[in-house]
Amino acid sequence: MAASTDQKIVAPYGQWESGITAEAVTAGSCNITSPRVCPRTGRTFTLQSRPDGSQTIHELRYYNEDVFMGTYDILEDYDGDGCQGNASTSLYEYGGLPYALWSGDQFKIIYSDARAKTVNVLISNDKERRWEQQVLFKSETHRYGDFDCHPGTPWVLAVEEDHTNPKPEDVKNSVVLIHIETGEVKSLRGSGQHDFVTYPRFNPTDMTQICHIHWDHPSMPFWGAKLSVMGLDLANSTVSDVKIVGGDDTSTAAEPRWGPDGQLYFGCDKSGFRQLWKYHKGDGEPILLPGWEDAEFGDAHWAVGAQSYVFLTDKEIVAAPVRFGEMEFVHVNLETGIATKLDLPLTNTSIRMDCLARLSENSVLAVASGYRTPAGVYRFNILPDLTLMSENLGSSLEYRFQLPEEVFSLPEHIRFTTMDEPRREVHGFLWLPSNPKYEGPKGTLPPLIIQPHGGPTAYNPPGLSMRVQYFTSRGYAFCFSNYTGSSAHGKAYREALRGEFGILDRDDVIETVRYLANSGRIDGSRVGIEGASSGGYCVLQCLTRYPDVFAGGISMCGVSDLSTLDEETHKLELHYLQTLLGLEGKSKEEKLELFRERSPLYHAQNIASPLLLIHGDADPVVPIGQSEDIKHAVERNGGDVKMVVLKGEGHMLKHADNLKLALRECEKWWRKTLLGIKN
């Protein structure tokens, strides 16, 4: 190695030393989400993950109501045996919002514990802030979450998932009422039976009116979900006058929210992009926001309970819309129809999903990250001229692991038109190698790791990812492929994957690699592909159909056999493949032929690149047999394959030890396949 004139060390790409450790990426980082504020007391809370995979509720503490003192884990030892409580829900397997605040005569928090299979209530003395916990009930067969409280009644709205008959087609979902004092659960009658329900919400000005989102197979929350409003008779647990006010068979209603004046708002993609709508005079109508026609407001994810816009007053909203994968932070004046971008004290911003809570008529609590700033909790005060004052109330990255901003690589939004037919625009984000101490030798280009996301209709945002930076700081380029079918790019882009799953997503990854190699930014002979879930399926599809493009691949909880998945997956995705593959109207023989054509398992003989498989042994979404089968098929053909089984992990990796193991296995694989270094 030699020192260059600017004192940087010249070293081969991929072999740079980095201060970003595996511990910093895993145990040193937590996930913060779901900020909530009690409207009566002003007390503030967030959800925060723990290294053991559980999740807790943190209270943000203040002195004299204005000096921030820190956060406090209120579930540190509330199951009575020295173990920490776990605020979590496994609704629809992907979970989401597991808690809600009740501000009646006493301040209470209702929450679900998926590990203990209980629904619990925390009761607080407002002055001393001591907590008493009560277990409302325990159920081995029923799951709960997406709670909503009204201070005028002890009855809490919730989504119930009944697994009494555990076959996916027999699982039942419904809106129920839970008594916050007695734990009594009452089903609501009169709303009709739907396969899926989310966002049951009280009208804050009239507790006899509620709303909720619902859809039926084969629809999904982002395909054909509808919003209904209805009258509620609490005494008789019935609803009446049910009216669909948003969404239909070709458009989706998302993230409903009642305003402080009792008006109902929601997101709807009828225009082609998910815009803000309002239920007004018996019908839904769009709120026209000039300049924001191609932005998407409201969340349509399958994790329940997101809150990506909030009301400051009945005339003002603060929202975090997304535009072609990039997040914005805006103030919306509902009277004038003017949406104004707010400038945050971050290098660009990523505010995603369940990320906002109202503090006052001019302030919000937000979970946000920058392109060079780890996710954290912020208080944003909005001044009359729409400038911001901000206060950082905590970071997702432990202080001992924090590094100067210049360590981190900045993302570039890549946007290009494909070379092959059908000609189409493709999106993604690219991070080039970045390390203030190193540079690559002149005349060389960095190896690339490209990652198609899961879903397949999710997307990868450009906010700071410590895992991405782990590799870019070592000299790798890293690319997120937001292929055709990704959300956050408009309805047409997302729905173009219908019938083309396993083709357009796969081919877009190949097009992205070619685009980056032809532009001279990466070494096209040293490209690795990794992905999880349907992203893992995309990995396997790419390796079987384009065996000469990749030097190596990593599939994490990936799908190898679509026909088996169609028989074994959980309720939410039970008919997902019908739309993704365009199976409607096809005979049984035609379906089997299509399954076989699109399943990597039956083309494993084409895999020429070394393949690493990583899978949790408790995965209910993509059973571990999907990885075991492709492993055996590659072995039978004499291929280079390794499988790592993560004990106790489901579909989403949560335990820090397993995350660290997976990261180290991935790094060893890339050193072997992209750098030619034997570990």
Please write the tens of the pLDDT for every residue from 80-119. Answer: 555 678 999 999 999 999 999 998 888 999 999 999 999 9
| 553 neighbors 611 (Cβ within 8 angstroms) | yes
Please write the tens of the pLDDT for every residue from 272-321. Answer: 999 999 998 788 899 999 999 999 999 888 889 999 999 999 999 999 99
Q: How confident is the model at residue 402 (pLDDT cuts 50, 70, 90)?
A: confident
Closest of 571, 655, 669, 679 to residue 50, by C-alpha: 655
Please write the tens of the pLDDT for every residue from 140-180. Answer: 999 999 999 998 899 999 999 999 999 999 999 999 999 99
Average pLDDT over residues 239-264: 95
Cis peptide before 600 (omega within 30 of 0): no
pLDDT (0 to 100) of residue 670 = 98
pLDDT (0 to 100) of residue 281 = 76
Average pLDDT over residues 604-618: 97
Average pLDDT of the chain to the nearest whole number: 93
Please write the tens of the pLDDT for every residue from 522-531. Answer: 999 999 999 9
pLDDT (0 to 100) of residue 342 = 94
In 10 A of CB 50, how many CB atoms? 18
Structure tokens at 179: 């008594």
pLDDT (0 to 100) of residue 6 = 65
**Bridge partners of 497?**
none
Q: How confident is the model at residue 510 (pLDDT cuts 50, 70, 90)?
A: very high
pLDDT higher than 90, residue 258:
yes
Measured between alpha carbons, how far is 349 from 450 in angstroms, rounded to an integer?
Answer: 22
pLDDT (0 to 100) of residue 2 = 46
Which amino acid appears at position 523 of this protein? D
Average pLDDT over residues 529-539: 97
pLDDT (0 to 100) of residue 348 = 64
pLDDT higher than 50, residue 4:
no
- pTM higher than 0.85: yes
Closest of 441, 511, 444 to residue 481, by C-alpha: 511
pLDDT (0 to 100) of residue 653 = 85
Please write the tens of the pLDDT for every residue from 320-364. Answer: 999 999 999 999 999 999 999 998 877 666 777 899 999 999 999
Average pLDDT over residues 174-199: 94
Q: C-alpha angle 33/34/38, rounded to 5°?
A: 140
Average pLDDT over residues 618-634: 95
Please provide residue 24's backbone torsions phi and psi, each rounded to the nearest 5 degrees: -65, -40
Instruction: Give the 3-state secondary structure percentages of the chain, helix then strand then coil, rounded to 5.
Output: 15, 35, 45
pLDDT (0 to 100) of residue 77 = 60
Average pLDDT over residues 28-50: 91
pLDDT (0 to 100) of residue 65 = 66
Least confident of 105-109, 201-205, 510-514, 519-523: 105-109
pLDDT (0 to 100) of residue 3 = 46
